[in-house]
Amino acid sequence: MTIGIGCLHVPLRLFNTSSRTKQEIDVSGEEVTIYACGITPYSPSHIGHARQAIAFDTLVRWLRFQDVRVRYVTNFTDISDTIIDASNEEGVDFLELANRHISDYRISMNRLNVLDADAYPRVTESIEGIISMIETLIEKGHAYSAEDGVYFEIDTAPEKYGRLTGQTLEMVRSGAGGRVASTGAGKRDHRDFALWKIAKQGEPSWDSPFGKGRPGWHIECSAMVHEHFGHQVDIHGGGSDLMFPHHEAEIFQSECCFDTEPFARHWMHNGMINVDGEKMSKSLGNFWTVSEAIDAVGPMVLRYALVNAPYRQPIDFNQVLLDDAEKNHGRLIESIISAGGLDVARQWGDIESLKNAENSLIRGMDDDLNTRVAIAEMQSVVKMLRQANSAQDLLVASACVGWLSAYAGDVLGLLPDEESFQRMIGHASERRDGIREKVESLIAMREEARSQRNWAEADRIRDEITDLGVVIEDRDSGAIWRMKDL
């Protein structure tokens, strides 16, 4: 989709966690390289994973929309303590468990309209590169062997400490108490971190010059970034919970191994998700897997809810958020269907209000991917489309559909492709026709109950309508209804 005529072009500025400022992304080279730390597949993916994937998907979409060539890589940590523990508990091979959850993740991301990455490297397929990096770090005096594995020695590069978190060695030492002296198993300092772990009896392991074992958590991503991008990557990141220790450790490893600085030119971290004001946790009973959330509200409503906040902002996942997303996404889809679907789209450059909405959206997206501004402008165009549909203004309606196809679809990922759109319309139309008589009868009964101020009966009828998969909206002219998945 070509950007509309007369749109505003400004440089993309992203918040760099390392500098703690918004910085312009250099798009002058052949391509922009992006690496996001992916999941450790020891259990089904949760909505925090969806939030991270959608944040980076939005970045990739926005750059490609502006004809910037992007190479995007995200990994799978398919061997870890958590995977070993979960596989032992279940009594299956660790790769069988990891593969199952990777498949679950890929299916869920596809349903959420997350574009495929250019590569999905896995730790178990990157062992050779990991071992090579560890050998180099030992040769350069940045790592040492201990009884239980190989460790990176923080004191060999103290100037790199706290690049992302702002912590200093002195801050860590002052809060360490007696832990610095109590290293154990040959580890010299509590701040040193594992590059290689000697395998315990029965654990998965690989041969190495340091003994049979497996990689530490942090070294894997450094090796995979190097395999795909060389010594440096343009944009690197993930969830804000990865800043320390994972991303701090990557900086140590990569810069010390390859004598190249900075390892990542730009660090991008998305905010976390709370549920009803509390941290999401299985122990609190507020844990949502991605598939559970999709089953509850539908994939595009879930994506809408997660996009409707700038990526760095924490999200409070609650019923109000989901209800708002369901209502507004339903209006988006319904308005396009009423206009005739996506195939009626035309350019919008000669309509001033659409050009203004476009320019405002571009300014917002180029200002640290402010998707809240983009959503607000999208909602204004949906309103314009609804008015054009009511007035049967086909010219304006088709221009609005074109605008929404570009920005709600190509940029925000909130629309299916035309073929899927038509299938969805046909399926919903069949369902709607099958229950139309019953729904309209229940709406009439509800209106009667409301006129008699019998609110309990009106609420009961509304619940019955909702159970049919129908959403009703009360307006001055009377209630209107639509299928829940539209």
Between CA 244 and CA 240 the distance in angstroms is 8
Report the DSSP pairing between strands 32-36 and 70-74. parallel
Between CA 450 and CA 462 the distance in angstroms is 11
Domain boundaries, the chain: 1-20+322-416, 21-274, 426-483
Mean pLDDT of 309-325: 95
The confidence score (pLDDT) of residue 74 equals: 98
Between CA 343 and CA 419 the distance in angstroms is 10
Q: Quote the tokens at residue 304.
A: 């809408």
CATH code of the domain made up of 21-274 = 3.40.50.620
Report the DSSP pairing between strands 315-317 and 273-275. parallel
Is the pLDDT at 430 greater than 90? The verdict is no
The confidence score (pLDDT) of residue 486 equals: 54
The confidence score (pLDDT) of residue 282 equals: 74
The confidence score (pLDDT) of residue 484 equals: 64
Strand spans (E) along 110-212: 143-146, 149-152, 193-198
The confidence score (pLDDT) of residue 359 equals: 95
Is the pLDDT at 171 greater than 70? The verdict is no
The confidence score (pLDDT) of residue 417 equals: 75
How far is the first Cα of the chain from the last one, in angstroms, to the nearest whole number? Answer: 24
The two domains 1-20+322-416 and 21-274 share their CATH topology (first three levels equal): no
**Would you place residue 126 in the very low, low, confident or very high pLDDT band (cuts 50, 70, 90)?**
very high
341-to-2, 139, 233, 287, 449 alpha-carbon distances in Å:
19, 63, 40, 37, 36
Report the DSSP pairing between strands 21-24 and 143-146. unpaired
Mean pLDDT of 293-303: 94
Which of 278-292, 311-325, 392-406 comes out lowest in average pLDDT?
Answer: 278-292
User: 316 pairs with which residues across the strands?
Assistant: 274
- Of 36, 49, 45, 46, give the one whose Cα is nearest residue 101: 45
Q: For domain 1-20+322-416, give the fold.
A: Four Helix Bundle (Hemerythrin (Met), subunit A) (1.20.120)
Mean pLDDT of 354-379: 97
The confidence score (pLDDT) of residue 185 equals: 66
Between CA 46 and CA 311 the distance in angstroms is 17
Mean pLDDT of 203-213: 97
**Can you spell out the DSSP letters for 322-351?**
HHHHHHHHHHHHHHHHHHT-GGG----TT-
Sheet of 278-279, strand order? 278-279, 273-275, 315-317
Tens digits of residue pLDDT in 213-229: 999 999 999 999 999 99
The confidence score (pLDDT) of residue 228 equals: 98
Would the CA dihedral through 476, 479, 481, 484 be positive or negative? positive
